Amino acid sequence: MSEKFNQLKEVLGEVSDLHHVTAMLEWDQQVNMPPGGAEARGQQISTISTIAHKKATSQEVGNLLDDLEGQFAEGSDEAALVRVTSREYGKAIRVPSEFVAEQAIVTTKAFEAWIEARKKSDFSIFRPHLEKMVEMKQKYIQYFPPTEHPYDVLLDDYEPGMKTSEVKEIFNNLRPRQVDLIKKIKSAKQVKDDFLHKAYNEKKVWDFSETIISQFGYNFNRGRQDKAAHPFQTTFSVNDTRITNRFEEGSPLSTLFSAMHEAGHAMYEQGSNPAYERTPLAGGTSLAVHESQSRMWENLVGRSLPFWEHFLPKLKKSFPSQLDGLSVKSFYNAINKVEPSLIRVNADEATYNLHVMLRLEMEIGMIEGKFAIKDLPQIWNEKMNDYLGIVPPNDAQGVLQDIHWSSGLMGYFSTYALGNLVSAQLWEKINADITDLDEQIRAGKFDALLGWLREKIHVFGHKYDPQDLVQKVTGSKIDAAAYVRYLTRKYSAIYEL
């Protein structure tokens, strides 16, 4: 291996270390830090982010990339590292370090304001911070050459190569099919789910969630689960991938599904090739592929009938009074009940993508300047009524429910729905390869499933671009057909359509 390649890896390793230090500071802010530490934390993150950006965009890195271009066989790890690094370098050099520093401070203040605003259900507290955040994003877009749509720049940060027009086309094809399914379900006999909203002991639910994800294969020797205002997963290394979760009094068992979801992300990170550690190849290739892992474990596994044929008897032992006499089929139907809901993370599979489409419209409207920030609560409520036929009673259950805008994550939301599509595409391939998968899940065995994902998805990290990886594994690029088949089959059986 060339000396210059080793030099590049050394610099990239230092940049990776700095990014992981920033991630640690952000994790601590959401899990442990007292609110009074926000200003100092913002400055700390700003300092580290600025150093990382300057190092990543140095002339040394540019020269090394020029020297290494075309030096390695196509398809090799070395060629992939040079390709991915060149792409990231080409984007990063367009953004001034001063902007990176300012954005870190703005984001830290915005997060603390969001926490307070959500707690008090008062959008006015968050409004000036979101206005500044949108202003920063519009400024960020201007650093790049004109694109088909300004939002393309933001989307590309999370889903490399994907265009806003492509996402809109996918969603426009998917929306009428989901709306049609929802209408059919609405006219069918509804399932009962009152037992899901009874009082459940928080610690017992939390412990049960950890039992489930341990059985999945989430390695607690290389991870942990902590409490936060909004569930998330973060990575400090392949041997330190953490998740957070929360307990909601009105929906206590949602803790179980949040744990499955975040563990799906974390197991992807834990399965990344260790040789990619401290390089841009480590971790997932895109947010859509990442989300395919979390949604697969949460929904295709965790909301399946075979899964609860195994786990419901165990859950009944922890909660006999709440679940006494309940059949597996009744439990399965209840956790898959289709009903328009206010909160995205608790939405059923049939309506979830509509929540995402709403947010995509909101973000595009903000970036285009079409939506004034002061009007967002009203716009949100109107769109919720248009999409789902319900109106949030307050800001906390409406425009303030998601953490993303306070963290500067604009361009992110569409990847949730794209991840649903990818999960179904992968699921069809998995079931073709593991023909007794249902029986294995029914027995509480997940080794073969996790092994398949490790071999086909996880180990490659960011070696392949997302569309190329999906094509390589399933035979087609991201497409809605498999997901529509999955939803139609599942809900036709539950609702006897």
- pLDDT tens across 196-208, in order? 999 999 999 999 9
Give the pLDDT mean for 212-229.
97
Give 442-464 pLDDT, tens digit per residue.
Answer: 999 999 999 999 999 999 999 99
pLDDT band at 1 (very low <50, low <70, confident <90, very high): low
pLDDT tens, residue by residue, 371-408: 999 999 999 999 999 999 999 999 999 999 999 999 99
The CA-atom distances, in angstroms, between 379 and each of 235, 330, 365, 435 are: 35, 37, 10, 47
pLDDT for the residue 345? 87
- Domains of the chain as residue ranges with CATH: 3-146 (no CATH), 164-495 (1.10.1370.30)
Q: Using the predicted structure, report yes or no on whether residue 144 has a pLDDT greater than 90.
A: yes
- Predicted confidence (pLDDT) per residue in 223-243, tens digit: 999 999 889 999 999 999 999
Contact present, 176 and 341 (Cβ < 8 Å): no
pLDDT at 346: 87
CA angle 433, 210, 116 (to 5 degrees): 115
Nearest CA among 105, 478, 48 for reference residue 292: 478
In this prediction, residues 305-326 reach a mean pLDDT of 97
pLDDT of residue 274: 97
Separation between Cα atoms, residue 162 and residue 153, nearest integer Å? 10
Report pLDDT digits (tens) over 180-193: 999 999 899 989 99
Distance CA 231, CA 238 (A): 20
CA distances from 239 to 218, 283, 294, 434 (A): 11, 12, 19, 28
The one-letter code for the residue type at 79 is A
Cα 483 to Cα 420: distance, rounded to the nearest angstrom: 7
Which residue among the candidates 26, 166, 262, 361 is catalytic per the annotation?
A: 262
Calpha distance 153→332 (Å, rounded): 41
- How many Å is the maximal CA-CA distance in the chain? 70
269 part of the active site: no
| Beta bridge partners of residue 227, listed in sequence order | 245
Q: Report pLDDT digits (tens) over 407-452.
A: 999 999 999 999 999 999 999 999 999 999 999 999 999 999 999 9
Q: In what order do the strands lie in the sheet with 240-245?
A: 225-227, 240-245, 233-237
Q: Share the mean pLDDT of the chain.
A: 96
Round to whole Å and give the CA distance between 153 and 141: 6
Helix/strand/coil for 244: strand
